[in-house]
Amino acid sequence: MTAAATDDTVLPPGENAADIARPARVAFIDHTARMGGGEIALLNLVNALDRRLVDPVVLLFSDGPLADALRAQHIETHILPLSAAVLDARKDKLGSSSLLKLRAAIEALRHVRRVAKKLHALHIDLVHTNSLKADLIGGLAGRLARRRVVWHVRDRIADDYLPRKVAWLFRKLCRVVPHFVLANSAATLKTLNLPAEVQTSVVPSGIRHVVEIIHDGTLSEAPGDSPRSGAPLIGIVGRISPWKGQHIFLQAAAKVHAVYPATRFTIVGTPLFGEEAYERELRELTQSLGLAEVVDFAGFTHDVPGTMRSLTILVHASTTGEPFGQVIIEAMAAGTPVVATDGGGVPEIVQDGMTGLLVPMSDVEAMVGAIQRLLADPAEAARMGARGRQRVLDHFTIGHTARKVEAVYRLLLKRGK
């Protein structure tokens, strides 16, 4: 059996725990407590940090599942409620109806002062922001409180992802507000168009769970896991949203099912930000394609590793370049072969033909061909899954992420002193 990777903490050369007077108080700021990809990445990160180096404190602008999960894991968590006019504004509408509106802008600036006051009260040493709204509000608050600021950019700052004026403004602020910029992929970092003097680093969002694989490349099933036998199960996992491409997945599913009638399909996830109408459209599309008996809308899951182990193939179908692709590495960690769209940060994860298959965005026929290729050759699909798992072990565990982030903290705090 291949040994699982270890995430042993590595202190800087010549430094040990006894030499550290106290861990740095780092405030992680996120505007939402809903469990999106960025929030899952934040939860994983704060749990993986070396407590000899970092004492994490999380500030959220709303209560919800993320706050509950943090409290359950004994992470110090504070809620500073933000006006719904700012909190609920969608990033794709920012140019017309949110922070650029006078009333919302005034409320955001008031919140900056509240956050800065809280940073002082909590004796924070460094601020680490985790979302676009947190970058702006938390970043300005950190500056006002005279603290070092790290922006963790998890969204592509591009015109196909944000309104043009907002993307332009964010790029400008990225040069003056944070002391250091982290990006979840090289593709994300490239969209910021930053000059060389801005301190940056690419830090992928690592995951916590990687399954064992026995010597022949098949999965070692834990008690209660569903073995990959019987009818193939093909799934798409993630927030239900038009740009995530569940409609492309369903169109491909109809064509695959016509050739492989035993195959079943599952859509795992829920709409988060007012996109319930799209879910209704997906259910109607399922009916019109004649897939009602073979497609399951599974809803949200807390057991992503278990879900990935149950799938024969994981499909990623985003129609816009994905900033990173958390669900892809979750699938690869489970040894599940992946068919993913070739855009954004995805090619940094999936090695086409080796750890999965890449297809053009919004290309139903190419997606169908890739899925059928894996279904027609289960042995090669298993080998791709095994290679994908090894790639995660080598590059995408939460231990790799935490050590890189800790190195940035040490750099900034020494410079601050």
Q: Domains in the chain, start-ordered, CATH in brackets?
A: 17-207+397-416 (3.40.50.2000), 233-395 (3.40.50.2000)
What would the pLDDT profile of 352-394 be if each residue is shown by its tens digit?
999 999 999 999 999 999 999 999 999 999 999 999 999 999 9
The H or E element spanning position 10 is none
Hunting for tokens 């399951």 — which residue is that?
296
In sequence order, the 6+-apart residues with CB closer than 8 A to the CB of 6 are 399
Q: What is the pLDDT of residue 244?
A: 95
Least Cα distance to 111 among 88, 96, 133 occurs for: 133
Half-sphere exposure of 199 (CA within 13 A, CB side): 14
Q: What is the pLDDT of residue 11?
A: 47
What single-letter amino acid sits at 139?
G
Count Cβ neighbours within 10 Å for each residue of 377-396 and write b for 16 or more, e otherwise.
eeeebbbbbbbbbbbbbeeb
Q: What is the pLDDT of residue 224?
A: 36
Q: What is the pLDDT of residue 218?
A: 46
Give the separation between CA 120 and CA 295, rounded to whole angstroms.
Answer: 52
What would the pLDDT profile of 313-329 be if each residue is shown by its tens digit?
999 999 999 999 999 99
Give the separation between CA 158 and CA 87, rounded to whole angstroms.
Answer: 21
Q: How many of the other CB atoms lie within 10 Å of CB of 348?
A: 18
Question: Which regions in the chain score pLDDT beneath 70?
Answer: 1-20, 85, 88-102, 211-229, 415-417
In sequence order, the 6+-apart residues with CB closer than 8 A to the CB of 240 are 246, 267, 269, 270, 271, 272, 275, 278, 279, 282
Q: Alpha-carbon Rg of the chain, whole angstroms?
A: 22
Give the separation between CA 308 and CA 333, rounded to whole angstroms.
Answer: 9
Q: What is the pLDDT of residue 51?
A: 96
Map residue 164 onto helix, strand or coil.
helix
Q: What is the pLDDT of residue 234?
A: 98
Instruction: Yes or no: say if 61 and 87 are a contact pair by the CB < 8 Å rule.
Output: yes
